[in-house]
């Protein structure tokens, strides 16, 4: 009798479980209502590292990075790509930090705040650089020459630019500006790129993202379509890169590879840096 009662109890309990479980039809109906459970964003910020080619190393205090460049304070470390060039031979002034390389076919969100001094003053001496010679953020393929993809340029008169569009206005200098760079790094048509600055949408486009729209033009001289290594990881840098004339400065009768510098130093600050793999 006891054994029979146990069997009966088990049978009743199993029946209750079956009746309470969602049916295949109910599950299908829920999905058709658009219930989506996106994957959580995964932070990959880690500690930003000082770029080894920095002439003056960035410093960090209370969560704020400060980058400075001064006339002819360059780093003579060779690039290691066989050309025998360095920032000093090219006239480049650099003070940067960098993140970790991201492999293509990933969707990534980069966020940071940047502060350009209110009294910033700069006069471009090369008329074939319409957006100026100073970058404050850049994304490029690693282990490759002329593989710069995207950048924020500090122009002489128009503020901070992305692809020629104003990201940070000169009137916003002296205050913290928030930049959000969202991208699906891919050579396929399902890619996208979205850039917002202080919650203003600057760029929003779809399609492949590993061959920049202006690659090879005078506005993007560090990108050559025939040299792009689209399978290489992408690294990103924050800070100042003030480009010089280049290694052939003597051929043009110049006295130095460095461009004219206004004032004793140029400095910027950045904070609240975040990098996340995500889905949209």
Give the architecture (CATH level 2) of 42-79+86-277: Sandwich (2.60)
- Residue 132 CA to residue 244 CA, distance in Å, equals 11
| Whether pLDDT at 12 is above 50 | no
pLDDT band of 280, cuts 50, 70, 90: low
Phi, psi of 29 (to 5 degrees): -65, -40
- Residue 201 CA to residue 193 CA, distance in Å, equals 11
User: Tokens for 235?
Assistant: 């690294």
Domains in the chain: boundaries: 42-79+86-277
- Residue 271 CA to residue 98 CA, distance in Å, equals 13
Q: Between the CA of residue 209 and those of 13, 42, 51, 238, what are the distances in Å?
A: 56, 21, 25, 20
Scanning the chain, the segments in alpha helix (DSSP H) are: 2-20, 24-32, 87-90
Chain CA centroid to CA 276, Å: 11
**pLDDT tens by residue, 230-263:** 899 999 999 999 999 999 999 999 999 999 888 8
- Residue 77 CA to residue 84 CA, distance in Å, equals 10
pLDDT band of 227, cuts 50, 70, 90: confident
Taking the model in full, what pTM does it have?
0.81
**pLDDT tens by residue, 193-209:** 999 999 999 999 999 99
- Residue 74 CA to residue 89 CA, distance in Å, equals 9
Phi, psi of 227 (to 5 degrees): -105, 0
Question: How buried is 114 (Cβ within 10 angstroms: 0-12 exposed, 13-18 middle, 19+ buried)?
Answer: buried
Least confident of 14-23, 100-109, 156-165: 14-23
């Amino acid at each position: 009798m006891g054994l029979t009662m146990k069997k009966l109890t088990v049978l009743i309990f199993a029946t209750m479980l079956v009746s309470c479980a969602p049916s295949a039809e109910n599950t299908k109906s829920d999905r058709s209502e658009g219930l989506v459970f996106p994957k959580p964003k995964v932070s990959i910020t880690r500690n930003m590292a000082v770029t080894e080619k920095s002439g003056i190393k960035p410093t960090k205090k209370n969560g704020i990075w400060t980058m400075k460049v001064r006339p002819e304070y360059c780093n003579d470390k060779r690039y290691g790509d066989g050309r025998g060039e360095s920032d000093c031979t090219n006239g480049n002034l650099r003070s940067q930090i960098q993140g970790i390389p991201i492999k293509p076919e990933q969707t990534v969100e980069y966020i940071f705040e940047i502060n350009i001094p209110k009294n910033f003053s700069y006069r471009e001496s090369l008329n074939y650089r319409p957006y100026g010679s100073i970058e404050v953020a850049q994304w490029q393929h690693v282990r490759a020459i002329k593989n710069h993809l995207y950048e924020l340029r500090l122009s002489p008169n128009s503020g901070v630019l992305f692809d020629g569009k104003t990201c940070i206005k000169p009137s916003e200098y002296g205050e913290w500006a928030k930049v959000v760079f969202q991208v699906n790094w891919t050579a396929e048509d399902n890619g996208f790129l979205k850039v917002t600055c202080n919650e203003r949408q600057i760029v929003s486009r779809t399609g492949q993202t590993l061959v920049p729209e202006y690659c090879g033009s005078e506005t993007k001289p560090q990108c050559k379509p025939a040299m792009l290594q689209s399978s290489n990881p992408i690294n990103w840098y924050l800070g100042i890169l003030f480009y010089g004339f280049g290694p052939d400065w003597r051929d043009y009768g110049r006295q130095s590879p460095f461009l004219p510098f206004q004032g004793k130093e140029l400095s910027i600050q950045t904070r609240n840096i975040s990098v996340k793999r995500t889905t949209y």
